[in-house]
Structure 1
Amino acid sequence: MAKLNPLQEQLLKAGLAKKSKVAEVARQQTKARQGKAPPTDAGIQREAERARLDKIERDRALEADRKARARDAELQSQARQIIHDKKVPRSGESEYRFSADGAIRTLLVNEDLRKKLSSGALVIARLGDRYELLPRGAGDKVRERVPDWIVLDHGQPGEAAPAGSSEDDEYYAQFKVPDDLMW
């Protein structure tokens, strides 16, 4: 019979366990120790490989995110530099109103700048909390880098004028709109 541990001896002396039951439990423990092999090397290697692949995937995702943020910051810096270099100086006392961020904004411009804005030769770009006038070419460069910064562009090639029938055009041609109308 196997050597009894102190707890088993105490239980036997106290009469709480039978000798046959203690022997059976000892045999089961011996079988469990001998029959149960330590985890195989293949299992450990599989687990280590899976953990390594998970870490590589996480690192790859973090690196891609970091590169995307760096690219966005670089594009914003380029757009900011274009706006600083190419902005058109504003002068005048006439108010030019436009919609940005759900609110009506106002810039003071002269008649020449107003005509250029209306024709699409100038665009309005947002730079922080300010709005700047840019020539069309510079506005297109800013739009390539950060499209949200272009607030107003009347000459966008993608925008089509509302289609009306020729009958409507003929009818409304008889009503003249004054040139000096200001909104």
Structure 2
Amino acid sequence: MSNSLRDQLLKAGLVNEKQVKQASKEARKQQKQNRHGNAAAKDQDKRAALEAKAAKIERDRLLNQERAKEAERKALAAQIKQLIEENRVPPGEDDIAHRFAHDNKVKTLYVSKEVHQDLVDGKLAIVTLESRYEIVPSAVAEKIRLRDESRVVLLNPPEQAEDVDDEYAEYKIPDDLMW
């Protein structure tokens, strides 16, 4: 003789049949949601998954940008190395010490008289390749400067025609002073 609470409330007249049906319908709905999982929790999980996916896509994009920059840097270094190796000028017989400043230090490179004069005149330039100095034509040094300015150590501008109105034109300053 078990009377459910619903039956007891109906007998007592505290609720009508419509309210009982509504309550049982709500109870079934609640059980179904509990069985299949909470919809709000599912939405929250979906949002969290979408946010994690968006964060991963952003990290991957940044990583790809870094890799692309690194590949570009390596390609520029390879281009510079190839330019220097293909266009290097042999220093000739080691007759004259050509001194130049690099990293606030005076460096010495022994070259022939012709190479020394071309360096002074701006026809040749000194560039770095790894840890050594190489002599290349000034046109090649300009190409290297466009790619990496720190590689060009010495590039004298070519001498301009002497100014006619210059009062001191007859007193030419020698560029090849030995220190």
> Which ranges of structure 2 fall in alignment gaps of 5 or more residues?
1-30, 159-164
Calculate the aligned-residue CA RMSD, in Å. Answer: 2.7
SS in 2 for 1:182: coil
Contact 2:126 2:153 in 1 (8 A): yes
Distance 2:143 2:150 in 1: 12
Alignment partner of 1:151: what SS? strand
In structure 2, how many angstroms separate the alpha carbons of the residues matched to 1:46 and 1:95?
A: 72
Q: What are the Cα deviations for residues 42-82 of structure 1, in whole angstroms up to 9, with x where unaligned?
A: 22221111111100000000011011101111110111111
> How many residue pairs are counted as aligned between the two chains?
137
Q: Which runs of 5+ in 1 are unaligned?
A: 1-33, 157-165
Quick one: structure 1 residues 181 and 54, their matched pair in 2 at CA, closer, same or farther if it must change by over 3 Å?
A: closer
Report what 1:99 is aligned to.
101
Structure 1 residue 119, shift from structure 2 partner: 1.8
TM-score, L = length of structure 1: 0.65
Q: Give SS of 1:79's match.
A: helix
Whole-angstrom CA distance in 1 between matches of 2:154 and 2:97: 15
Q: For 1:50 and 1:65, how far apart are their aligned partners in 2?
A: 23
Q: How far 1:140 sits from its partner (Å)? A: 1.8
Paired AA for residue 67 in structure 1: A
Aligned counterpart, 2:178: 182
2:81 — aligned with what? 80
1:179 and 1:67 mapped to 2: Cα distance?
44
Instruction: Name which of 127, 130, 138 aligns with 2:129.
Output: 127
State the Cα deviation string for residues 115-146 of structure 1 (Å, max 9, x = none): 21122111101011110000012112222222
- 3-state SS in 2 of match to 1:40: helix
Per the normalisation by structure 2, the TM-score is 0.66
Cα gap change, 1:69 to 1:46, in 2 (>3 Å): same
> 1:64 maps to what in 2?
65
Instruction: Verify: 1:150 aligned to 2:152, yes or no.
Output: yes
Partner of residue 118, structure 1: 120
Q: Counterpart of 2:46?
A: 45
CA distance in 2, matches of 1:146, 1:178: 30
CA 1:136–1:55: 2 relative to 1, 3 Å? same
Call closer, same or farther: CA 1:176–1:86 in 2, change over 3 Å: closer
Q: Residues 97 and 145 from structure 1, CA distance in 2 versus in 1: closer, same or farther, beyond 3 angstroms? A: same
Aligned to 2:108, the other structure's residue is in SS state: strand
Residues in 1 aligned to 2:88 and 2:122: alpha-carbon distance in whole angstroms: 15
